[in-house]
Structure 1
Amino acid sequence: MSRPLFLRIQFAIEAHDPYFILKRNAAGTLGLSSLQKVTVAMRMLAYGVAADAVDDYVRIGESTSIESLKRFVRVVVEVFGEEYLRSPNNDDISRLLAQGEARGFPGMLGSIDCMHWKWKNCPIAWKVNYSINGHDYTMGYYLADDIYPPWSTFVKTISCPRVNKDKHFAATQESARKDVERAFGVLQARFAIVHGPSRFWDLPMLRDIMKACIIMHYMIVEDERDVYIPDLNYDVIEENITVSHERTIELSQIIQNHRHIRYRGIHSQLQTDLVEHLWKLQGARMNA
């Protein structure tokens, strides 16, 4: 985490919660500064150390360290949660579509993994109009593995591929799908508390710890994006891809969309079209 980003978080937390403001006690002695309290919380999150392991470095007691961590993660969620845990907007969807198109998957919104998904929490079916291999589609999709149902919003890999085009599709799909696992691995590497020490907290505290780590991870990625990510023009999408965020109101339309999501025919056709599309791209690259 860069120093400007750390200070941004510190100032926002100090402004939101008076607990982090430097005060004097009844005897006129200065207490702990916000820098000390934020630093001890950050060290416990980043290194996964116990509260009594930071007292020598930060000059802060065990009970105060625990209280600082509890308040820190809660305030991070309250202050930055609306911005960094919000639903995707038009710019986000456009960026995801551009990234998917660049990797050979038009209409792809990302990848999904079992530990990030529950059956009752189906991913949002964004209305995205695009064309692959001469067939038109109206919903975006997520890359998934074999545990997911054959819905039109999931594109799964091919188990035991035999022909070359199927092998190429499976390798490309699985490579792109690793994004979720890599992202969680980066999160664990960045905040060691996610590895195991977090299990000693109660459930509400665990929820705040995980949300705070995810928020700060997003903030770091945003802060370092210009350094590590190639300069892609996310505002420019292929002309055959359009995005709509209109919400369905009529119950009949909700039921129709629900059936459309679960329609297996679209799932099979989309996978077949992507196999052909990726194979053509591979041939074009080899002939270039």
Structure 2
Amino acid sequence: MAFPSGSVDVTGSSGAGVIGSDVTIVTTGGVGGGSIVGDKDDEGNQSAPHDDVDDAVHHDLDDTPDIDASDPTPTTSDDPVSSAVAPVAISTAESVYAFFQQRADARGKPRYSTMQKCTAAIRQLAYGTASDAMEEYLQMSTTVAREALHIFCECIPQLYHKKYLRKPTQSDVQKIHEVHHQRHGFPGMLGSLDCMHWEWEACPVAWQGQFHRGDHDGPTVILEAAASFNLWIWHAFFGTPGANNDIAVINASPIFDRLTDGISPDISFSTNDANYEYGYYLVDGIYPEWATLVHSFTCLTDEKRQYFKKKHESARKDIERAFGVLKKRWSIIRQPARFLQMDKLRNIMYTCIILYNMILEDSGTAVCQGEYNDEPEPICTLNKDEKLANLLKTRKRETNFCLRSDLVEHLWSNKQGDGEDND
């Protein structure tokens, strides 16, 4: 479908290119037959002009809450992409991908603009709408809208994964340790780790056995993620069939590959007069007892363990909150997936996470605000035996027992020293 002459401007209340439900399409020229005319009252007087296309999609922006940089929980307003994030992503996509560049059709008429294509993609991500919904909203065919979504989801991970899905650097690790120790009382904590299931409605019949588990209504695909206190997602691993449990996912996950390869930054710490080589993630009870994972107690024999369980459960809410905000902001992953190809599902999930982290950084709540050095990943020089030795160190049960005991004593001594519970 060729786009008629005219231009489309998508702006928000600040006029800075906000893309979301709170947008206004302003047309100059005849777009899809929309006329800029006024209505006549009973006496035949002409009212103020308006656009009959715009009336169907215009929403008031006055009630949109402002982002408070001091609040660690990002806003979940109807505006899915902030005014600073959207122009950056759109302009970069336009400069790299020819699909997003406005071109002329065979008649010499201008086709869909970059803003229109990116708006169609982001609306499908944010609201989970079908591709044919863009026919009325942007006068865009279903095929073009669907193609815009998939190319946009290929573009964002390729351009931004090095920054917004990066592994923590040395400076990142130090700040993460400080924030978690100050907020939760856990020294050496890297974040919280858990899994989330995304229902796959279009799963092929031949694959449903490995993607369906009894506690879910249908086939699902698993996302493993690790988040810090400010809900920044530092690790994402998506694509494991839903029939697996969290143990199978972490065994296939690359989250500890850098530790095994010996190229990880220094994440050592001290607690209760004991030194530990690796930081750790807080997990629930199903995970194995590794040196890099800490879960709570099932048998609460004294007040120390009860207090540890309380602090552990409080800190583990970070990843649950991150999953909740991610689903709230991008409805496409809250609804069953309608696509057949796994690579398209993977691109959509990583795109949502990258844009989610971009919004966190723009809101000023990121732990490592604006700090990123595009340095090449160190090259592993270890042989197989050395890698195996590192792998066994990360999975040593004795270290897990000692670490958890030292954390219990550390939290209890801090409680006694403060004289109150800060939760």
1:47 CA drift (Å): 0.2
Q: Structure 1 counterpart of 2:193, which letter? A: I
Q: Distance in 1 between matches of 2:333 and 2:318?
A: 18
Do structure 1's residue 206 and structure 2's residue 286 form an aligned pair?
A: no
Flag structure 2 segments of 5+ consecutive residues without an equivalent.
1-80, 197-223, 225-248, 372-377
3-state DSSP of counterpart to 1:149: coil
Residue 401 of structure 2: aligned partner = 268
Q: Structure 1 counterpart of 2:391, which letter? A: H
Do structure 1's residue 39 and structure 2's residue 119 form an aligned pair?
A: yes
CA shift in 2, pair 1:278/1:199, >3 Å: farther
CA shift in 2, pair 1:11/1:195, >3 Å: same
Q: Find 1:120's aligned residue among 252, 255, 260.
A: 252
Residue 241 of structure 1: aligned partner = none
Q: How does 1:208-287 map to 2 (within 5 A)?
A: 208-225=347-364, 228=365, 249-286=382-419
Residue 176 of structure 1: aligned partner = 315
Please provide the CA RMSD for this pair.
2.4
Q: Find 1:19's aligned residue among 99, 116, 126.
A: 99
Does the Cα contact within 8 Å between 1:151 and 1:261 map onto a contact in 2? yes
Q: Distance in 1 between matches of 2:95 and 2:267?
A: 41
- Counting matched residue pairs gives 275
Does the Cα contact within 8 Å between 2:128 and 2:330 map onto a contact in 1? yes
Does the Cα contact within 8 Å between 1:108 and 1:140 map onto a contact in 2? yes
3-state DSSP of counterpart to 1:146: coil
Higher helix proportion = 1
1:149 CA drift (Å): 1.1
CA shift in 2, pair 1:114/1:7, >3 Å: closer
Q: Structure 2 counterpart of 1:274, which letter? A: L
Does the Cα contact within 8 Å between 1:153 and 1:267 map onto a contact in 2? yes
Flag structure 1 segments of 5+ consecutive residues without an equivalent.
235-244
Q: Distance in 1 between matches of 2:331 and 2:300?
A: 38
Residue 164 of structure 1: aligned partner = 303
1:96 CA drift (Å): 1.7
Q: Distance in 2 between matches of 1:69 and 1:279?
A: 51
Larger radius of gyration, structure 1 or 2?
2
The percent of aligned pairs where both chains have the same amino acid is 35
CA shift in 2, pair 1:177/1:231, >3 Å: same
Q: How does 1:43-54 map to 2 (within 5 A)?
A: 43-54=123-134
Q: Structure 2 counterpart of 1:118, which letter? A: I
Deviations 1:240-282 (A, max 9, x none): xxxxx99662544333322222221111111011011111111
**Larger RCO (alpha carbons 8 Å, 6+ apart):** 1
CA shift in 2, pair 1:169/1:91, >3 Å: same
Does the Cα contact within 8 Å between 2:175 and 2:367 map onto a contact in 1? no
3-state DSSP of counterpart to 1:109: strand
Residue 71 of structure 1: aligned partner = 151
| Deviant stretches of 4+, over 6 Å | 229-232
Does the Cα contact within 8 Å between 2:172 and 2:368 map onto a contact in 1? no
Residue 282 of structure 2: aligned partner = 143
3-state DSSP of counterpart to 1:111: strand
Q: Distance in 2 between matches of 1:229 and 1:21?
A: 32
Residue 185 of structure 2: aligned partner = 104
Deviations 1:223-242 (A, max 9, x none): 112xx56999x9xxxxxxxx
